Structure 1
Amino acid sequence: MDKRLSKGVLACLLLLAQLFFAFGFAQEVSHSEETETSQEGIGPHIARLSIDGPIGPATTDYLIRTSDRARRSGARLFIVTLDTPGGLDAATRDIIQHILASDIPYVTYVTPAGARAASAGTYILYASHVAAMAPSTTLGAATPVQIGGMPGQQEPPQNAPEKSEEETEKKGGGDKGHETHGASEGSAMERKVINDSVAYIRGLAQRNGRNADWAEKAVRDAATLTANEAKAENVVDLVADNEQQLLQQLPNREVILVSGREQIAGSIATLPVVAYEPDWRNELLSLITNPQVAYLLLLIGIYGLIFEGYSPGAIVPGVVGVICLLLAFYALQVLPVNYAGLALIIVGALLIAAELFVPSFGALGIGGVVALVIGSVLLIDSDVPGMRVSKTLIGTIAAVSGLALLGILYAVGRSLRKPSVPANQAMVGRTAMVWEVEPDLLVKIDGEIWRAHSENLLTEGQLVTVTAEHGLVLQVAPE
C-alpha cells in the first residue's frame, strides 16, 4: 500500500513537472511566433545579427535561420557584429558558404572597442562582402590551433642561421608569396591542413579584392593587425567608430554577390536597423552544444542508467538517464569528439559501478576514476577557446568520483565485518505489528505482511517480537 502510494505521488509530481514545462515551452514558442509574425512584412530594413563568443553549431544555426527570416521580412543589408576568439572549422565553413551564396550584402563589423576577430573570425571577415572594424579592435592569428599544438612540430633553433636565397631556390622555395615557413618543419598532416587553410583564405581574399599575402601570413605565422593597420594593408574595407558612421560609408560601394557585381544602394543609410536576437531554439542549441554541458549530460546519462540497473522499477533514474544521453549524443555528434576519450569515460563509469558487485578492494574503482579523468581530458579534440571541457570541471568530477569510491569501499568493508546470518533466521529478533488476528494471524514488518503463530492472545496494532522463523511462517511473542 505504501509503495503504491509513493509511486502515485511520484507519478503526480512528474506529471506536474511535465505540465509546467509544456506550459513554459508553449509560452516561449508563442512569444517567438508573435515576434516572428510581427517582423514579417517589416519592409525594407537593415538586419543586425550578432556573433559574440566561440563559433560553433549554435552560431551557424542562428546566423542561417535568422538571416533567412530577415530576408523574408524585407532585409536589404545584413550587419554582423563580430567579437570572437575563434571557433570550429566545420561551423565556420558553413557560415562562409552561406555568406558567399547570399544575394544580399553581408557587412561584418568587428565591434565594440576591444573586440577581436581571431582565428575563425578572420576567415568570416575575409568572406564578407564588406569588412569593417571599430578602432581598438584586432584580427588575425588564423593558424589552425589543432595543428599548432600538435606534438612533432618543432621550433627552429634560436641561433640557427637563415638560409640564403640560393639555397631556398634549390629546394623549390623561391616563391616568397607561398613560403611554407615553420609549417615545412612539421609533419605531413600539419602541412596538409595549413596549406589547405592558406588556399581557402587566399581564395576568399582574391574574391573580394583584399590582401591575400597578409591573409597567408595570418595562417602560417599567426600574424595580427589593429583596425587602422588592417585598413592600411587592404585587409578590411572600412574603419568606423560606430554603426551610424559605418552606414554612411556604405552607399554606392561595389560588392560581389552570388548574382555578380552590384553596388550597395545609395539610400541604404536611411533604412531602419532591426536587431535580430537569438530565439529559444538558438539558446537551447547553444546550451546543449557547450562542451561543459555536453560532458555533464553524458555523465548524468550514464550514471542514471547504472542506478536504474541497481534498482529496476525506480523509473526516474532511467528516464533522466535516457534523455540526458540522447541530448549528450546529439551535442557530441556536432562537436569535435575524440572517440577514445568517450570510450574511456563510459568504461570508467562502468568500472566504478562494478566496484559494488565485485570484491576487488578498490582496484576496479581506482581504475575507473583514472579512466574517467583521462577520457574527460581527451573528450573534446580541439584547442579552440571555449570549446574544451574545463579542467576545473574535470577535477571536480574526479574528486566526486573518488569520494563516491571511498563511500563504496567503506560500505563494503562494513558489510564484510558484520556477522553472517542464516537466511532462515533473518527475521528473528525483529519487531512487528499485529495486522490481523482473525481468521489468520498476520503481522507487518517494514511494509511486508507475514503469516504468524503465537501462543499468546494478541490484539490488532500490538507490537510483537519474532522469536523463530519456520519457512514463511513467523513465531511471535508479545514485546
Structure 2
Amino acid sequence: MSLRHARRRIRPGLWLTLISWGLLLAGAIAHPFLQAQEPEGNTSEGNGDSARRTDRALVYAADVDALIHPVSAEFIAQTIEKADADSADFVVLTLRTPGGLVDSTREINQSIIEADTPVAVWVGPSGARAASAGFLITIAADIAAMAPGTHIGAAHPVSGTGEAMDETAAEKAASDVAAYARSLASRRGRNISLAEEAVTESRSFTEEEALEADPPLIDLIADDVDDLIAQLEGRDIRRWDGTSVVVQLDGADIQPVEMTWRQRLLSAVAHPQIAVLLFSLGSLGLTIELWNPGSIVPGVVGGLCLLLAFFAFQILPTNYVGLLLIAFGLLLLVAEMFTPTFGILATGGLVSMLMGGLLLFDSELPELQLGWPFLLGTMLALGFITAALAHLGIRAHRMRAVTGRSGMIDSPGRALGPIPAGGSGRVETHGEIWTAVADDPIGDGDAVRVVAVEGMTLRVERAGAKKP
C-alpha cells in the first residue's frame, strides 16, 4: 500500500484526535472566564459607547485580577482614556496581582500620572494582595487604599527569564526599581524609606502597617468600592502636577468597565498552564500536518497555538532551559509516531517534558508554578495521543501494499455526474476525483467500479455489472 493511501486511510482517526484537542483547548481557555463573577449593576465595555452623563458624579470602576503585562496595561490605559473623554470625576481600579513586568508597570503608572481624571487604586477584597508591580502601581495612584486583610510590597525585581541574575545585574535592577519607588513615594507624599525597603528588602505591609506608618504608605482603608467613594467625599487630594482637587462624589453613578473579548483572551493566554497547553497542542498540530500534508486545519490551528504560546512565554518569567526540555520531549513523541519503538522514545519524551515543566517557570509565586496534577494530567493526555497515533501508523504499515495502476483496478467509486455511453464524466474514488469514461451509460451518484487505467483517465462500469 502506498504511503499516500496509508495516510488517507488513517485520516478519520487523526481528525477525531484533532477535535479532542480542540475541545480540550477550548475548555482550558474558557475556564478562567467561567470562574469570573459578573459585576453587579450596569456594565460598560471598555470600547463601547460613552456613558451618558447625568447630574450625578461619574465614576469608572475597573477590576484588574491578573499578572501585570501588556494586556492589563492596555486595559487600564483605555479605562483612563475613556474617563478623560467622558469628563468622569474619578477612576477606581480594584487591584489583585502577584506582580508582573516592570515595563508594563511603568506604562500603567504613566497613564495614571498623565490622567486628567483622578485615579484611586483599591487593593481588595479581603485576602487580596498587590505584590511587586502591584505595589508600585498602588503608591503611584492619586489615592491608595486597601481592604481589611490585604497586603502590599515584596517589589524586589527578578529576571524576566526565570533564571537567577548575577550579583551585579541584580544590584543594578534593584537600584533602578528602588529609585523609581522613591520617586513615586516622594511625589505622592508617601513613606519613602518603606517604599524603598519594599524593593531592596522585599518587605510586605498589611493595611494597618501601611496606614499607620509615618508618613503612611496608603491614604485609607475601605471595605469595598462604595465605602471607598464615601470616604473620599470632601477630601482634598493633591495631583501629580501639584494642583489640588476637592472630591465630590456624593451619590456617584458607578460605571464598571470591562475588558474586551480580545483582552480577555490574551489575558487568559498569559497563564502558565494555558501557555504549556498551547505549546504542546501547537507542536502536535504541526506534526499532524506533516504526517498528512494538505489537511490545512491542523497546520493552521497548530501555528496559531504556537504563536499564542510564544506570546505568553514573552510575558511570563520563562526559563528557556525548561522550554527546550519540553520541546525536546515533544520531538521524541513525534519520533515515536513516525518510527514506533514500542514506547521507548515516548517514555523519554514524557520524562523530558515533565522535567521541563518543573523548570519552566522558576518563581516562588503559586500563580506562576505548574502543579503536579496539571503536569501529570498533561503527560498522560499526550502519552495517550502518541500511543493512538503510533497504533494507527503501525496498522497502516502492516496493510497490504498496493501501488501503481494495479492498485486502482476493482476500486469502488461513485459517479459525480451522468456519464454517457462512450463519453466522459467525473468519478470519486479513494478520496480523489478522476476523469472517467464508460461503455454504458452511468447515472449521477451511481456506484462504479474501476476496470482500467488509461493514462490520467479511468475506465469504469456500473458496480455489479457482469465481467465479460
TM-score by length of 2: 0.69
Which secondary structure state, in structure 1, belongs to the residue aligned with residue 239 of structure 2?
strand
Distance 1:319 1:192, change over 3 A: same
The corresponding residue for 2:110 is 97
The corresponding residue for 1:281 is 262
The one-letter amino acid of 2:62's match is L
- Retained in 2: the 8 A contact 1:252–1:263? no
Which secondary structure state, in structure 2, belongs to the residue aligned with residue 78 of structure 1?
strand
- Retained in 1: the 8 A contact 2:239–2:245? no
Distance 1:407 1:447, change over 3 A: closer
Q: Which structure 2 residues correspond to residues 383-398 of structure 1 after superposition, within 5 A? A: 383-398=364-379
The corresponding residue for 1:348 is 329
Which secondary structure state, in structure 1, belongs to the residue aligned with residue 48 of structure 2?
helix
Which secondary structure state, in structure 1, belongs to the residue aligned with residue 89 of structure 2?
strand
Structure 1 residue ranges without an equivalent (≥5) = 11-30, 153-185, 452-459
The corresponding residue for 1:182 is none
Q: Are 2:238 and 1:255 aligned?
A: yes
> How many Å apart are 1:291 and its aligned residue?
3.1
* CA distance in 1 between partners of 2:229 and 2:403 (Å): 87
Aligned pair partner of 1:321 in 280, 302, 315: 302
1:419-453 CA deviation, whole Å, 9 max, x = no partner?
Answer: 9899898799x9979999x879xx998678999xx
Aligned residues: 410
Aligned pair partner of 1:206 in 177, 186, 189: 186
- Retained in 2: the 8 A contact 1:145–1:383? no
The one-letter amino acid of 2:174's match is I
* CA distance in 2 between partners of 1:316 and 1:122 (Å): 44
The corresponding residue for 1:224 is 204
> How many Å apart are 1:65 and its aligned residue?
0.9
The corresponding residue for 1:300 is 281
Q: Which structure 2 residues correspond to residues 406-421 of structure 1 after superposition, within 5 A? A: 406-407=387-388
Distance 1:359 1:198, change over 3 A: same
- Retained in 2: the 8 A contact 1:344–1:375? yes
- Retained in 2: the 8 A contact 1:145–1:384? no
The corresponding residue for 2:217 is 235
The one-letter amino acid of 1:216's match is E
Which secondary structure state, in structure 1, belongs to the residue aligned with residue 61 of structure 2?
strand
- Retained in 1: the 8 A contact 2:95–2:123? yes
Distance 1:400 1:462, change over 3 A: closer
Q: Which structure 2 residues correspond to residues 85-234 of structure 1 after superposition, within 5 A? A: 85-144=98-157, 187-233=167-213, 234=216
> How many Å apart are 1:72 and its aligned residue?
0.7
1:69-100 CA deviation, whole Å, 9 max, x = no partner?
Answer: 12111212222222333333332222122222
- Retained in 2: the 8 A contact 1:140–1:222? yes
- Retained in 1: the 8 A contact 2:84–2:116? no
- Retained in 2: the 8 A contact 1:146–1:382? no
- Retained in 2: the 8 A contact 1:118–1:141? yes
- Retained in 1: the 8 A contact 2:46–2:79? no
Which secondary structure state, in structure 1, belongs to the residue aligned with residue 127 of structure 2?
coil
* CA distance in 2 between partners of 1:313 and 1:414 (Å): 22
* CA distance in 2 between partners of 1:228 and 1:135 (Å): 8
* CA distance in 2 between partners of 1:221 and 1:280 (Å): 39
The corresponding residue for 1:66 is 79
- Retained in 2: the 8 A contact 1:340–1:379? yes
> How many Å apart are 1:290 and its aligned residue?
2.7
Distance 1:382 1:71, change over 3 A: farther
Distance 1:373 1:61, change over 3 A: same
- Retained in 2: the 8 A contact 1:81–1:108? yes
> How many Å apart are 1:32 and its aligned residue?
7.3
* CA distance in 1 between partners of 2:325 and 2:302 (Å): 18
Give the structure, 1 or 2, with the largest relative contact order (CA under 8 Å, sep 6 or more).
2
1:246-267 CA deviation, whole Å, 9 max, x = no partner?
Answer: 334433423132x3x1222253
* CA distance in 2 between partners of 1:316 and 1:127 (Å): 47
- Retained in 1: the 8 A contact 2:101–2:315? no
* CA distance in 2 between partners of 1:56 and 1:103 (Å): 23
> How many Å apart are 1:343 and its aligned residue?
4.3
- Retained in 2: the 8 A contact 1:54–1:387? no
Deviates more, 1:136-145 or 1:209-218: 136-145
The corresponding residue for 1:174 is none
- Retained in 1: the 8 A contact 2:159–2:317? no
* CA distance in 2 between partners of 1:389 and 1:138 (Å): 24
The corresponding residue for 1:158 is none
1:245-296 CA deviation, whole Å, 9 max, x = no partner?
Answer: 4334433423132x3x122225344543322222323222222323322332
1:112-165 CA deviation, whole Å, 9 max, x = no partner?
Answer: 233322232221111112212233322223333559x9669xxxxxxxxxxxxx
> How many Å apart are 1:236 and its aligned residue?
1.1
* CA distance in 2 between partners of 1:222 and 1:357 (Å): 51
- Retained in 1: the 8 A contact 2:46–2:258? no
The one-letter amino acid of 1:393's match is F
Larger Rg: 1
The corresponding residue for 1:36 is 48
TM-score by length of 1: 0.68
Distance 1:150 1:334, change over 3 A: closer
Q: Which structure 2 residues correspond to residues 377-456 of structure 1 after superposition, within 5 A? A: 377-380=358-361, 382-407=363-388
* CA distance in 2 between partners of 1:222 and 1:343 (Å): 31
Q: Which structure 2 residues correspond to residues 369-384 of structure 1 after superposition, within 5 A? A: 369-380=350-361, 382-384=363-365
* CA distance in 2 between partners of 1:447 and 1:102 (Å): 62
* CA distance in 1 between partners of 2:342 and 2:141 (Å): 61
The corresponding residue for 1:246 is 228
Distance 1:329 1:409, change over 3 A: closer
- Retained in 2: the 8 A contact 1:60–1:94? yes
